[in-house]
Structure 1
Amino acid sequence: MSDAPVVVDREDAVTTITLDDPAHRNALTVAAKVALRDAVADAAADDGVRAVVLAGTARAFCLGQDLGEHAETLAQGPEAAFATVREHYSPVVRDLMTMPKPVVAAVAGTCVGAGLGLALACDHRVFGTGTKLATAFTGIGLTFDTGLSVTLPRAVGDARAKELMLFGRTFSAQEAVAWGISGEIVETEQVLPRAVELARALAAGPTTAFAQSKRLIAQAPGRGLDDALDAEARAQLACGSTTDHAAAVRSFLSREPAVFTGR
């Protein structure tokens, strides 16, 4: 265990960002939010990083906002307390969702509130068998942050998203996957190793194709058909102009495995 609330490990082209405050079950203090924001931004900007894992230690992926610290800040007024949404939560989610590389969440234990938002901002999730999830916001008189007003309805549909927000009930990893929250379920001790395994496989893949695919999906809502088709044509040209594409076609024709270099 490190004294830092967030630990960053880099192995080859995979960066693992771990929330590491087990004493508080990875509740998000200002120190943790600043460290997480900076770590995610660094991984997003580093061309040598081709896949990212977001994880939490011990019994929780993330409990969301540290309410003890929040209560102290709230005493200074709501504007002071909720500046964190724009200063910390929104930049982290924006970078997770838009970085031009895949992000895999390793979700074990409890994942609620902003923790759920962080998990859904990733591209894929590996859940532990006993993982428990919840929106949790309305229980303290709040609404969505961390992008959940976008990611939760996209994953489970408007009706279920409203149910989960209005009633705030806890749901299981099995329910999450059945409802459409992408991911797989493994034994708890295998969550991080499996997430890293998937990230390594993605890091060996076609970087530009992944980046363009993430962008197309993110920008699809609200686009008309003609705009979507035009965006696809431009994205295909960008992918088709890479060395990876030309090499992969040659490999396919010669019946050899493709090797992607990210160029």
Structure 2
Amino acid sequence: MGTVQHKEEPVLDMSKTDDVAVITMSRPEKLNALNAGLRDAIFDAFAEAKADDAIRAVVLTGEGRGFCSGADLTAAPEEAPPPSQSDHMDDLGWVGRLALTVYGLDKPVIGAVNGIAVGAGMSLALACDVRVGSGMTRFKTVFVERNLSPDTGMSFFLPRIVGYSRAADLVYTSRMVDADEAYRIGLLDRLVDHDDLLDTAIDLARQMNAWPPLAVRMSKRALQHNQECELEEALRYELVAISHAGRAVNDRKESLAAFREKRTPRFTGT
């Protein structure tokens, strides 16, 4: 995909390293604040990652000092055509679609949170399956400071990651959370030296990619689905996920053969 531009401004870069796609938000002068161009580029990049079987995992990061500073409040209003009937009926908006785009990719998504993640940018990090950070990482909910309640899925993701009372603390106070606290309360799953951040995230993706891709994708679906249901339904869905993963018959054969032969398996997703 390479660099995506919007009105001559480079806003996102997508590179592929073997079976890992690295998606880098590229508005460093704005701490990768979300304008229309960057939002559209994220939608396009994740659609490409979903459609490409050669991509087994995605690393999402930002260029420069920021991961993403949220919605771009400094952008000049862009002229838009009169809203259509569908626009009037849209009850998600770009914030909802952005959360669904990241969370809904049925492949592992690793956030390499290279700097500040604020507002919708924090929500974007929370929508990832796993987050890797460094001493430069900072989180801030910020919404109440703008006379807003959380959006972009923060009210869904945050209490599930850190628990209700900690989520309430972070949302109501809008205080800054540094890297050490973020790691302690579960906002970060890995805390590494800043120079090692992206390599660690890519290495983590490769660890996940070592296994049968269909099994990994169905594992993600099962984990997400079973957060929202009773045990009996969760048990039934586990069987559904197993049956779907089993459709990769060659990977099932390879798994058994590699175990018997005591060698490293080579999975193809078929």
Q: Same fold (TM over 0.5)?
A: yes
Q: CA offset at residue 152 of structure 1?
A: 0.5
Give SS of 2:196's match. Answer: helix
Query: 1:97 offset after TM fit, Å?
Result: 1.6
**Identity over aligned pairs, percent:** 36
Amino acid at match of 2:15: D
1:99 and 1:224 mapped to 2: Cα distance?
A: 24
Cα drift, residue 160 of structure 1: 0.8
- Is this contact kept in 2: 1:100–1:208, CA < 8 A? no
Q: Is residue 135 of structure 2 the alignment partner of residue 129 of structure 1?
A: yes
Aligned partner letter, 2:225:
Q
Query: Alpha carbons of 1:16 and 1:164: their partners in 2 closer, same or farther (altered >3 Å)?
Result: same
Alignment partner of 1:198 out of 198, 201, 204? 204
The structure 1 residue matched to 2:254, chosen from 214, 224, 247, is: 247
- Structure with more contact order per residue of length (Cα contacts < 8 Å, sep ≥ 6): 1
Supply the AA of the counterpart residue of 1:257. Answer: T
| Matching residue's letter, 2:41 | A
Paired residues of 2:46 and 2:105 also in contact (CA < 8 A): no
Give the aligned CA root-mean-square deviation in angstroms.
Answer: 2.4
Spell out, residue by residue over 1:206-260, the C-alpha distance to the aligned partner (whole angstroms, 9 max, x if none).
2111111111111113312221111111111222342212211221122112221
Which has the larger helix fraction? 1
Aligned residues: 255
- 1:51–1:203: 8 Å Cα contact kept in structure 2? yes
Task: Quote the Cα distance in structure 1 between the aligned partners of 2:224 and 2:72.
Answer: 29
> Does 134-143 or 36-45 show the bigger shift?
36-45
Match of 1:262 among 250, 255, 269: 269
Cα distance in 2 for residues equivalent to 1:176 and 1:30: 29
1:59 is matched with which residue?
65
Matches of 2:160 and 2:77, distance apart in 1: 32
Residue-by-residue CA offset, 1:190-219 (whole Å, 9 max, x unaligned): 211221222233233221111111111111
Q: In the alignment, does 2:50 pair up with 1:44?
A: yes
What is the CA–CA distance in structure 1 between the aligned matches of 2:73 and 2:9, rounded to whole Å? 20
Structure 2 runs not aligned, ≥5 long? 1-7, 80-88
**TM-score normalised by structure 2 residue count:** 0.87
Separation of aligned partners in 1, 2:77 and 2:171: 22
Distance 1:195 1:189 in 2: 12
| Aligned counterpart for 1:189 among listed residues 195, 205, 208 | 195
Match of 2:96 among 90, 107, 110: 90
Poorly superposed stretches of 4+, deviation over 3 Å:
70-73, 83-87
Mapped contact 1:116–1:133 kept (Cα < 8 A): yes
Q: Deviations over 1:147-175 (max 9, x none)?
A: 11111000000111111101101102221
The one of 141, 145, 154 aligned to 2:151: 145
Larger displacement relative to structure 2 (235-244 or 9-18): 235-244
State the match for 1:110 in structure 2. 116
1:220 lines up with 2:189 in the alignment? no
- Tell whether 2:74 aligns with 1:68: yes
Looking at structure 1, the residues matched to 98 and 260 of structure 2 have their Cα atoms a distance apart, in angstroms, of 42
In structure 2, the partner of 1:170 is 176
Report the more deviating stretch, 251-260 or 197-206.
Answer: 197-206
Q: State how far apart, in whole Å, the 2-side matches of 1:206 and 1:186 are.
A: 28
In 2, the alpha carbon distance for the partners of 1:181 and 1:26 equals 20
Native 8 Å contact 2:214 2:269 kept in 1: yes
Q: Does 1:4 align with 2:13?
A: no
Q: Which amino acid aligns with 1:105?
A: G
Letter of the 1:194 counterpart: T
Which segment drifts farther, 93-102 or 129-138? Answer: 93-102
TM value normalised by structure 1: 0.89
Runs of at least 5 residues in structure 1 that lack an aligned partner in the other structure: 74-82
Partner of 1:20: 26
